Amino acid sequence: MNDGRSDLMKSLLGAAIRGVLFGLLLVAVFAAGFAVRGTTRTPLAFAQGGDYPILSDVHTLLEQNYLNPLPDAKELEYAAIKGMVGALEDPHTYFIPPAVAKNESDALAGEYGGIGAEVKRDTNGDYVLYPYPDSPAAAAGIRDSDKLLAVGDTEVTPDMLHDDVRRLVRDEVGKMLTITVQHQDTGEIESFDIEVAVIQVPSVIWSTLAEAPEIGYIQVLRFTSRTPEELEQALVDLDAKGVVALVMDLRRNSGGLLQEAVDVASVFLDGGVVLYERRKGQDEIVKEAAGGGTELARPLAVLVDDGSASAAELVAGALQDRGRAVLIGQKTYGKGSVQLIFTLADGSSLHVTTAEWYTPDRHAINAVGLTPDIEMIHSPDFDAELSEAVRWLRAQVAVTP
């Protein structure tokens, strides 16, 4: 290598090695899907005196011969990192830049920059949008179940990961995103320019059922830092309305924070195992419910589908194995891996698969999923799973319509 290597090259290699592989500072307090938070990690050494001679040669040749100006050092650094991580061929191990990383963190705190729409899959596997009331998406004209076709120049296809599509509709506050959708009712394709705003969204929604007012309905959208508190509020409110049974809806819940998921399971369990966690070269970790859960008696039905993943599967699997709830719906997604999320020096983050977890009966979840006790075919026109839950719960408490 010659002594005239540019400052750009030094920045690329030095920052890529030191800032990424030596500079993993601490586990972030958020996750995309399922994560552990609140753990401080010792910085890792990659290779003493290591170098990437081929990478150096390629950069030098590009610098000397490429017709157009090269991207700046940071952009090249991020590209090198993404290439390194991509070589692992693990969809749950990935790198995200600072702005997106901040949005991930804010989302699990119940606040983030976005257009204000929930991204879900329909029965065809297509991604559809459900705008929140009074959100930028709703104000622009996006309607419930609009098929998401593209964000800017990025086409949205069924083979994309749910987390990747969700990240497309989140960005820095004030940025304009072009959202192209197909309206399900008319088939019309329409594009909207939507300004990213601060979105505040609850993780738990609850009510009594109009068709069965004696049954409380609790939908957990995602496991955030606010979920246990919101669940407690839901139960207090439903208690006041005299409900005798509960439905917990985990459909399309893609996961969230580990400890908060354990806390939710603890509400329905009187101690005991919630999950087993296995890490390379370490003893098995047992996560147990706190004793004295407040919801030990009322019959409980849990709704799941192929969008129920990660932390949602953790809760559903624990309640199923422990005999506390009946699972109704479709086989779950099957994400039983654990990601540590490292915040890097510039605010970017690295998600790294580090462990797998198993249900109390030691059933593997990763790439397998949970099989419901009552399996049903989803209907786009009728909520058959909820109706079945009402039927089952009424049979348990002998309550007639």
Please give the pLDDT value at position 108: 67
Q: What is the pTM of this model?
A: 0.68
In the block, tokens 């991020």 appear at 78
What is the percent of the chain where pLDDT is above 90?
63
Q: Is the pLDDT of residue 35 over 70?
A: no
Please give the pLDDT value at position 37: 45
Angstrom distance (rounded) from CA 188 to CA 182: 6
Please give the pLDDT value at position 4: 43
Please give the pLDDT value at position 8: 42
Select from 97, 163, 79, 73 the least CA-distant residue to 349.
97
Model pLDDT for residues 98-149, shown as the tens digit of each residue: 877 876 777 667 678 999 998 877 767 899 998 887 889 999 999 988 999 9
Please give the pLDDT value at position 129: 92
Q: Is the pLDDT of residue 260 over 80?
A: yes
Q: Is the pLDDT of residue 328 over 70?
A: yes
Confidence of residue 382 (pLDDT cuts 50, 70, 90): confident
Beta-strand ranges (E) seen in 196-281 are 197-200, 204-209, 212-220, 245-249, 256-257, 273-279
Same fold, 113-200 and 204-338+352-397: no
Fold entry, domain 113-200: Pdz3 Domain (2.30.42)
Hey, where are the domains in the chain?
7-105, 113-200, 204-338+352-397
Please give the pLDDT value at position 5: 45
Fold entry, domain 204-338+352-397: 2-enoyl-CoA Hydratase; Chain A, domain 1 (3.90.226)
Quote the mean pLDDT of the chain.
85
C-alpha distance across the termini of the chain, in Å: 81
Q: Is the pLDDT of residue 14 over 50?
A: no
